[in-house]
Chains A and B, each alone.
Chain A
Amino acid sequence: MVAVNFGEPVASGAALAAVVRRPVDDWQAAIRLSCSLLEKNGAVTVVYADRCIAMVEEHGPYIVLAPGIALAHARPQDGVIRLGVSVATLSEPVSFGHNDNDPVDVVFAFGSPDNDQHVELLSKLAQLLLGGLADRLRDAEDDATARSLLEEVTQDE
């Protein structure tokens, strides 16, 4: 039996999704775009994007963790159904109001159903970013290419 799942969990059980070179008006729309991918995958509910935006409004644009790269997320109780990570690259970068790391054109979002499940995933994502994942995503010309790049977060060494 071969199960074929598109946009479904892979190895680690994380929901994955990616889109590339999308136009958005502002940072809120960028977060909504990435969160909408998690929503389509059934990883988060419709309130999650609002909560992610509220986190930035409350605590500042700290989710812009390196030049050009944002990692949006909220808390498990903010509507996370299961572990998921998504990424959207933007056709035009947007400003998050970060003094050093603006403008942003690679926007990740993740949701974790508890305080532990995402640790391994983010650890792998950190490694991949150090290895140049953001530039490979920027170069990706279609969604499928970006999604297969993102799949590396669920793969072992």
Chain B
Amino acid sequence: MTRPDPLQVLTVCGVGMGSSLMLRMTAEDVFKRLGVRAKVEATDVSSARSMSPDVIIGQGMHTEEFEGRAPVVVAITNFMDKDGLEQQLIEAFEEQGWWP
């Protein structure tokens, strides 16, 4: 399967307006760095359950339930760690045959 273009990406947190928003900004930056077109949306975990994105990014306590429900699920702990997120995305994309 080829990588969807643009990628539909969700950043998730409990309420959907604080942490997930900060994470959205980080993610947008990282996708730009990677040269991957992505539509990134911040939302709360319960809304995310009824959506079908290509990529879900959030803290492990929230992403766990999405394992297997989106092609790429990335758990992060520090929203400021852009290099870490970049690395995790590349590895997950490789597994999907989405990279390079």
Q: Is the CB of A73 within 8 A of B15?
A: yes
Query: Would B17 and A67 count as touching, CB distance under 8 A?
Result: no
Does A74 lie at the interface of the complex (its beta carbon under 8 Å from any beta carbon of B)? yes
Q: Please, how many angstroms separate the alpha-carbon atoms of A99 and B75 in the complex?
A: 13
Q: With A and B bound together, what is the CA distance between A119 and B17 in angstroms?
A: 8
Q: Which residue of A lies closest to B13 (CB)?
A: A62
Question: How far, in angstroms, from A85 to B22 measured CA to CA in the complex?
Answer: 15
- Closest chain A residue, CB of each to CB of B44: A59
How far, in Å, is B60 (CB) from chain A's closest CB?
A: 8
Q: Does A71 lie within 8 Å of B18, measured CB to CB?
A: yes
Q: How large is the interface on B (under 10, 10 to 19, 20 to 34, 35 or more residues)?
A: 20 to 34
Q: Which of B31-39, B66-74, B76-84 contacts A (4 or more CB under 8 A)?
A: B76-84
Q: Check: B26 CB closer than 8 A to any chain A CB.
A: yes
Q: Is the CB of A122 within 8 A of B21?
A: yes
Which of chain A's residues have a CB closer than 8 A to the CB of B59? 60, 62
Interface residue A144 (Cβ < 8 Å from any Cβ of B): no
Contacts of A59 in B (CB 8 A): 13-15, 45, 61-62
Q: List 19 A-B contacts (CB under 8 A).
A: A55-B14, A55-B15, A59-B45, A60-B59, A62-B62, A63-B18, A65-B19, A65-B23, A65-B78, A65-B79, A67-B78, A73-B15, A99-B60, A99-B77, A100-B78, A101-B77, A122-B21, A122-B22, A126-B25
